[in-house]
A and B are shown apart, each in its own frame.
Chain A
């Protein structure tokens, strides 16, 4: 059964710092990996999606990498801002027992201090 782990569970950094969030998964037979942002009491917003054949995706100050064989992904945030404060979730899609599943990690809560 696919398991997704995100480390650290919480991270606090000063404004302007570059940072890396980690995501690992146990079954490398994924179809894609997606990073989301969730603000308190709100829904999830898709940040980046990496197809299984890709190594990385970039959007503005965000860069996500994927190493499928080792079961790892990282989300790099450059020049962090207080507005980046949120919980970041990664999710992988794979087939499990004939079903199509999207499995989420528990998230990393990021606080960027002014």
Chain B
């Protein structure tokens, strides 16, 4: 089954404790991205990657890191989480980049992160 998976689905942690949220897709997609969703603010892009070893900042990259060492994986790293990073996080992928004429986005199920 074609899908985007994220782990963990739920995470409660404390300020300053490094964490990684994994994202994997099995569709051989080139484009992957991370979003956070907050009430009243909607979905905002954190980082995206056009292909292996190619990443770029989205609208809200502060406090986050990403890497794209393999085509299928795009982990989101919070080196020193803070309470303002409490949010619902989504990973997404598409065959081509965001500007491709046809680039249907496939989303993972989400990771609900709470930073105390």
Whether A93 touches B58, Cβ cut-off 8 Å, given contacts A100-B98, A106-B42, is no
User: How far, in whole Å, are A36 and B43 apart by their CA atoms in the complex?
Assistant: 12
Q: Is A105 close to B, CB under 8 A?
A: yes
Summarize A's interface: helix, strand, loop or mixed.
Answer: strand
Whether A104 sits at the interface, judged by CB under 8 Å, is yes
Which of A10-18, A19-27, A44-52, A76-84 touches B?
A: A44-52
Nearest A residue (CB) for B94: A102
| A34 vs B106: C-alpha distance when bound (angstroms) | 11
- B40 neighbours in A (Cβ, 8 Å): 106
Binds A, one of B64-72, B79-87, B107-115: B107-115
User: Interface size of B by Cβ–Cβ distance < 8 Å?
Assistant: 31
Q: How far is the CA of A45 from the CA of B92 in the complex (A)?
A: 11
| Number of A residues with CB within 8 Å of any CB on chain B | 28
* CB <8 Å contact, B107 and A45: yes
Known contacts A93-B98, A94-B99, A100-B97; A46 and B104 CB within 8 A of each other: yes
A45 to chain B: which residues have CB within 8 Å? Answer: 107
Interface residue B103 (Cβ < 8 Å from any Cβ of A): yes
Asked if A31 meets B45 with Cβ closer than 8 Å, knowing A43-B109, A44-B90, A102-B105, the reply is no
- Residues in chain A near residue B25, CB distance under 8 A: none
Q: Any chain A CB within 8 A of the CB of B100?
A: yes
| A95 in contact (CB, < 8 A) | yes
Question: Is the CB of A28 closer than 8 A to any CB of chain B?
Answer: no
CA distance A106 to B35 in the complex (A): 13
Decide if A61 is an interface residue (CB 8 Å cutoff).
no
B99:A44 contact, CB within 8 angstroms: no
Q: Does B29 contact A (CB under 8 A)?
A: no
Closest residue of chain A to B110, judged by CB?
A: A43
Complex interface: chain A residues within 8 A of B4 (CB): 43
Q: Is the CB of A52 within 8 A of B101?
A: yes
7 inter-chain pairs at a CB distance below 8 angstroms, sorted by A residue, are A42-B109, A45-B107, A51-B102, A91-B105, A101-B58, A104-B44, A107-B42
